[in-house]
């Protein structure tokens, strides 16, 4: 099958059109105005009695101010959704609720889709903490001199989807990008439809600049950096793919992987999607951010990076969200929250004031609604869990 036929074959697959959210334009200021959620996140300062490096410790819900009756409502809401696969609730550092639905299971390692973006953002934090990059205001053309086409695009622009680059997150243009020999060149070749910093436009191309930057600045594969600095210290099993996987059709792309990270055509881990983890391991990233980058006696990410990542740089997205450094920010049941969110309903939600992490997994490998890409309300499920917390 020729590359052209491959792309057309993929293009005709409805699922490929639905892999990620529709394109969004939001006007924004160029001066990096930093907003905090109203009243702030209310981070708690807590001395943890244990860390879940080896395993999550479980505890009864009533010992951690969770209403069993309200959690029953959340459980039923998930159980009535044919695509729900996992719901985990971590309160005060303990796994107080864990339920799997349909084909879901404790060892099920699936594509996190755009939740991967938040992991990629963490790698940029490591670059900052290790002084490979001094500021998010640095020009990408200076950081990656092999790509002068970046011109005035900064790292901040890439992190916040404000590069100004033309982009389509669906359809044939997306497929052409996936099959291009250099994803950075392909994304830059689309040109700019507005100046950097002027508008929010969601783009996996922007995200992929991040893992490419990691490779350029460190000479280390992004997957290896993640393994050494994040996964190993947190007790997350992870295997690096030896080679990129060649895709000839959608079924090839759906081929199950386990505890690994897909690569682009140059062998660089895909920053925008393609990380495979279990629900329990997803919860560990949420817990790392809940603790402002601290894990046991190590500061895996600096507090300043975590705080910078979940500030509002763009607002009024989809009428209810703001955006930080590859993290979504919103109010859940009245509580300032931030979340990593992926196609089909993959969510790591963090509510600092409640010392709460919520993980949702949904089926995103098979057929879903051909218009919206989803047939469920994952955010409502998140809200039901937050409502189950017996607030003082």
CB atoms within 10 A of CB 297: 6
Strand partners, 346: 342
> How many structural domains are present in the chain?
1
Q: Residue 206 belongs to a domain with what CATH number?
A: 3.40.710.10
Calpha distance 280→12 (Å, rounded): 35
Show the domain range for 230.
3-50+106-334
- Decide if 346 is inside a domain: no
- Decide if 283 is inside a domain: yes
2-47 residue pLDDT tens: 333 333 333 333 333 334 443 444 445 434 444 456 558 999 888 9
Percent of the chain with pLDDT over 70: 84
The answer to whether 358 and 285 have CB atoms below 8 angstroms apart is no
Calpha distance 347→361 (Å, rounded): 7
- Decide if 210 is inside a domain: yes
In a 10 Å sphere around its CB, with 0-12 CB exposed, 13-18 middle and 19+ buried, how is residue 58 labelled? exposed
- Decide if 354 is inside a domain: no
341-382 residue pLDDT tens: 999 999 999 999 999 999 999 987 654 444 444 456 899 999
pLDDT band at 78 (very low <50, low <70, confident <90, very high): very high
Q: Closest Cα partner for 386 from 118, 87, 116, 38?
A: 87
- What contacts 24+ positions apart, CB below 8 Å, involve 298-306? 298/233, 300/229, 300/230, 300/233, 300/234, 301/122, 301/125, 301/126, 301/129, 302/125, 302/128, 302/129, 305/125, 305/128, 305/129, 306/125
169-212 residue pLDDT tens: 888 888 889 889 999 999 999 999 999 999 999 999 999 999 99
- Decide if 89 is inside a domain: no
For the chain, the average pLDDT equals 88
For residue 217, what are its two tokens?
A: 């600045």
For residue 3, what are its two tokens?
A: 């590359």
For residue 203, what are its two tokens?
A: 């783009």
């Amino acid at each position: 099958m020729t590359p052209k036929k491959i792309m057309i074959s993929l293009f005709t697959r409805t699922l490929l059109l639905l892999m990620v959210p529709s394109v969004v334009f939001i006007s924004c200021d160029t001066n990096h105005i930093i907003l905090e959620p109203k009243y702030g996140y209310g981070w708690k300062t807590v001395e943890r009695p244990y860390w879940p490096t080896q395993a999550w410790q479980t505890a009864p819900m009533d010992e951690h101010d969770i209403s069993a009756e309200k959690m029953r409502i959340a459980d039923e809401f998930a159980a009535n959704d044919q695509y729900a696969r996992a719901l985990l609730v971590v309160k005060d550092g303990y796994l107080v609720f864990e339920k799997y639905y349909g084909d879901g299971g404790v060892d099920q390692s699936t594509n996190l889709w755009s939740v991967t973006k938040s992991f990629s953002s963490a790698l940029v934090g490591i670059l900052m903490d290790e002084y490979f990059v001094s500021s998010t205001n640095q020009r990408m053309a200076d950081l990656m001199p092999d790509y002068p086409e970046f011109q005035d695009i900064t790292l901040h622009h890439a992190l916040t989807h404000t590069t100004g680059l033309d982009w389509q997150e669906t359809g044939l243009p997306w497929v052409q990008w996936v099959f291009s020999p250099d994803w950075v060149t392909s994304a830059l070749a689309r040109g700019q439809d507005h100046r950097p910093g002027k508008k929010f436009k969601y783009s996996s191309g922007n995200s992929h600049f991040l893992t490419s930057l990691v490779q350029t600045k460190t000479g280390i594969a992004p997957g290896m950096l993640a393994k050494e600095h994040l996964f190993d210290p947190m007790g997350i099993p992870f295997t690096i793919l030896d080679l990129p996987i060649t895709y000839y059709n959608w079924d090839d792309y759906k081929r199950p992987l386990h505890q690994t990270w897909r690569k682009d055509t140059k062998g660089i881990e895909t920053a925008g999607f393609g990380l495979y983890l279990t629900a329990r391991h997803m919860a560990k990233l949420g817990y790392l951010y809940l603790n402002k980058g601290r894990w046991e006696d190590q500061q895996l990410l600096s507090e300043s990076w975590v705080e910078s990542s979940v500030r509002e740089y763009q607002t009024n997205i989809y009428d209810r969200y703001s955006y930080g450094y590859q993290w979504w920010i919103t109010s859940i049941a009245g509580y300032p929250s931030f979340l990593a969110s992926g196609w089909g309903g993959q969510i790591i939600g963090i509510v600092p004031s409640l010392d709460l992490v919520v993980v949702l997994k949904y089926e995103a490998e098979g057929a879903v609604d051909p218009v919206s890409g989803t047939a469920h309300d994952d955010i409502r499920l998140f809200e039901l869990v937050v409502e189950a917390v017996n607030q003082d």
